[in-house]
Amino acid sequence: MEQRETGQAEETKQAETSQLEEMKELTQKLNEASRAYYAQDREIMSNLEYDRLYERLEALEAATGVVLAGSPTARVGYEAVEELPKERHETPMLSLGKTKDREELREFLKENRAMLSWKLDGLTIVLQYQNGKLAKAVTRGNGEVGEIVTNNARVFQNIPLQIAFRGQLTLRGEAVITYSDFARINAEIGEAAAKYKNPRNLCSGSVRQLNNEITAGRKVRFYAFSLVSAQGMEFDHSREKQMLFLKDQGFDIVEYRMVTGDTVSEAVAVFEEAVKTYDIPSDGLVLSLDDLEYSRKLGATAKFPRDSIAFKWADEQAETTLKEIEWSASRTGLINPVAIFDPVELEGTTVSRASVHNVSIVKALKLGYGDRIMVYKANMIIPQIAENLTESNSIAPPTLCPVCGGATAIRKTNDVEALYCINPDCDAKKIKSFTLFTSRDAMNVDGLSEATLEKFIGKGLIHHYADIFHLDRHRETIVEMEGFGERSFQKLLTGIEQARNTTLPRLLYSLGIENIGLANAKVICRSFSCDLDRITNAGVEELSEIDGIGEVIATAFHAYFADEKKRKELELLLPELHIEVEQAAEEELTLQDMVIVITGSLQFYENRNALKEEIEKRGGKVTGSVSSKTNILINNDTASSSSKNKKARELGIPIVSEETFREEYLSRS
Is 119 known to be catalytic?
yes
Average pLDDT score, the chain = 83
Cα distances (Å, whole numbers) of residue 139 to 83, 201, 204: 13, 14, 10
d(C-alpha 215, C-alpha 196), whole Å: 15
Per-residue pLDDT tens over the stretch 148-179 = 888 888 888 888 888 889 899 999 999 999 98
CB-CB contact of 550 with 515 (8 Å): no
Residue 467 has pLDDT above 70, yes or no: yes
- Between 531 and 44, whose confidence is greater? 531
pLDDT given for residue 573 in this prediction: 94
The alpha-helical segments, DSSP class H, found in 485-590 are 486-499, 504-510, 518-527, 532-536, 540-544, 550-562, 564-573
Residue 342 has pLDDT above 90, yes or no: yes
Per-residue pLDDT tens over the stretch 49-95 = 887 888 888 888 778 766 665 677 765 443 444 457 778 777 777 77
Residue of 520, 502, 516, 513 whose CA lies nearest to 582: 502
Mean pLDDT of 508-527: 85
Mean pLDDT of 239-268: 91
pLDDT given for residue 78 in this prediction: 38
Q: Which of 119, 429, 621, 644 is catalytic?
A: 119
The alpha-helical segments, DSSP class H, found in 166-263 are 179-187, 199-207, 212-217, 239-248
pLDDT given for residue 38 in this prediction: 58
Residue 657 has pLDDT above 60, yes or no: yes
d(C-alpha 493, C-alpha 483), whole Å: 16
pTM over the 0.85 mark: no
Per-residue pLDDT tens over the stretch 349-394 = 788 888 888 898 999 899 999 999 998 876 556 788 988 999 999 9
Cα distances (Å, whole numbers) of residue 527 to 368, 545, 585, 597, 611: 62, 10, 14, 22, 22
d(C-alpha 198, C-alpha 186), whole Å: 10
d(C-alpha 668, C-alpha 632), whole Å: 15
Residue of 198, 192, 463, 468 whose CA lies nearest to 331: 192
Band of pLDDT at residue 230, cut at 50, 70 and 90: very high
CB-CB contact of 159 with 175 (8 Å): no
Residue of 269, 304, 296, 300 whose CA lies nearest to 285: 269
Residue of 482, 502, 497, 330 whose CA lies nearest to 418: 330
